[in-house]
Structure 1
């Protein structure tokens, strides 16, 4: 009996050792594959940390700021013109090197409503240091939640209608625009592949469409979108590229007939990997009152878009943010 119990005990120990070795092997394979488990969900990141999405701002057809994607990060301006950045719903705050001239109007302080991208991994601010003049633009970059900042001057970029964003810690985009006659604006697109240290100009849509921007965004270095203020029709006016700006064409999206009587302003698209959302702001054609936001969604980095009414938001009408 003692011998029998001893044999069973040895078997259990061997089974336990086998199980332990199996667990170690699986953990090793997961580490080699770059898998990361967060909140119970697997997140394959190809060996590098996942890029955290950023808070994105856009503007409506009248030039007022709209919060497009709230990630718990934000900016604020005090009475003296100091620009502060907050992260994680206010847990972390930082002071940016910017100081605005508060004696000027909000639209003429050197910043643009869309000129902010605020992520825990990458914070980017594009601004004009000489409001009212077509001076070279500055881009402020922080990779450590505002502890340190790099200031890069983009000599070829000018204007005061600005948008900026990043799709990874290294790859980003920026647009600059300025009025060009009545009801027109010329817009230029820039990209960075080194985290914002250097920028190069890529193709723009000015030959096919030149109007004031209301939103912009890229899903990767090749596929990008520019949303424009509606002018002669009710919109939405969206032009897109899938060859890094070499060519641009109008994005044809089909809307339900129930939205025909609204003005439709395309805001900045939101991307998280291959998945994307394109918010369209609806306003009343008679009085300009905000009606709500409808969304198109994409599962292939913006190559195709579909409409799903379940994503629409008509409960809240206060989308405008004033600083």
Structure 2
């Protein structure tokens, strides 16, 4: 009995046990939180996607080749190729190869092709009965979901991309007379199932697009074909489309003689590359120069190390492009 009372009254021993128990619980909690954060962080990013833009002649050009591509057969059936052609998947989409169906040609369709997320925007949208459609695959083309965007506008140029598995954007445009076009910007936060329209810059600038890209849901860029000036004409938003302003671009004087089309920017988390295509009216396409960013596109600087120039006017050895999305 005496020993039992001593044991009951020995609170120091109990406190040691309780402290140990609480410490174990705390460690389990910390590990759980870190694991959850790691899982969330890991789900944010996706493997690099092949990104497309529009060249001087209205042709589709690749600005970032991630080893994935698409093909269209003579009947218009679309296939997607992954890992440099090692994996092929059929897409439940048939495009018009005759040029007779508005909004359904190859040049009217937008692609983003990553092993983790593939998205294709297609169709003629009148804002009423005819919506845009987005095809989504999250398993390298094994399965596809087709999501309409009621109320969407645009039928001509289309761009689409994802910054992670959930957050994506698309821009569709339509001509409205010579040298003018209206463009509409949409975003998704649920992997492409639903889309909402955000503000566009049509009231301050409405021309044909040559490239589009977003570094986040807030920061995005629209690149336009040169028209009244020699470019590059880029408008950007940092508040999810509430306001747009022209991006100030400083380039060396040696490029003044060229007309400049901004292509689609490429982002690897905070780092960015903005390709600008150069053309001379006498000699033709001169190549591509690049702006670089290290802060999600807030600031850009020209970096000659990335130059891919074809014109013999330019000489000198340039470094290999070392912007690695992989």
TM-score, shorter chain, exceeding 0.5:
yes
Change (3 A) 1:295 1:134: farther
**TM-score normalised by length of structure 2:** 0.80
Change (3 A) 1:45 1:198: closer
Q: Mapping of 1:141-152 within 5 angstroms?
A: 141-152=136-147
Structure 1's unaligned 5+ residue stretches are 1-27, 37-43, 318-323
The alignment partner of 1:117 has SS state of strand
The alignment partner of 1:245 has SS state of coil
- 2:221 corresponds to: 225
Instruction: State the alpha-carbon separation in 1 of the partners of residues 269 and 203 from structure 2.
Output: 30
Deviations 1:241-284 (A, max 9, x none): 00000000000010100000011000000011000000000111
Matched, 1:199 2:195: yes
Matched, 1:122 2:117: yes
**Structure 1 contact 85–94 (Cα < 8 Å) conserved:** yes
Deviations 1:216-251 (A, max 9, x none): 010000000000010011110000000000000000
Change (3 A) 1:166 1:130: closer
Q: Mapping of 1:1-323 within 5 angstroms?
A: 32=34, 46-48=41-43, 50-104=45-99, 109-112=104-107, 115-128=110-123, 135-159=130-154, 160-287=156-283, 289-314=284-309
The alignment partner of 1:46 has SS state of helix
Instruction: State the alpha-carbon separation in 2 of the partners of residues 59 and 106 from structure 1.
Output: 20
Instruction: State the alpha-carbon separation in 1 of the partners of residues 245 and 140 from structure 2.
Output: 37
Change (3 A) 1:266 1:105: farther
Instruction: State the alpha-carbon separation in 1 of the partners of residues 280 and 229 from structure 2.
Output: 14
**Structure 1 contact 111–127 (Cα < 8 Å) conserved:** no
Instruction: State the alpha-carbon separation in 2 of the partners of residues 249 and 229 from structure 1.
Output: 16
**Structure 1 contact 238–251 (Cα < 8 Å) conserved:** yes
**Structure 1 contact 114–215 (Cα < 8 Å) conserved:** no
Deviations 1:136-162 (A, max 9, x none): 211100001101111011122222211
The alignment partner of 2:305 has SS state of helix
Aligned positions, number: 282
Structure 2's unaligned 5+ residue stretches are 1-29, 313-326
**Deviation for aligned residue 1:102:** 1.9
Change (3 A) 1:227 1:258: same
**Structure 1 contact 212–228 (Cα < 8 Å) conserved:** yes
**Structure 1 contact 224–244 (Cα < 8 Å) conserved:** yes
Moved more, 59-68 or 105-114: 105-114
Change (3 A) 1:194 1:116: same
**Structure 1 contact 114–164 (Cα < 8 Å) conserved:** no
Change (3 A) 1:108 1:152: closer
The alignment partner of 1:194 has SS state of coil
Instruction: State the alpha-carbon separation in 2 of the partners of residues 104 and 270 from structure 1.
Output: 30
**Deviation for aligned residue 1:46:** 2.9
The alignment partner of 2:254 has SS state of helix
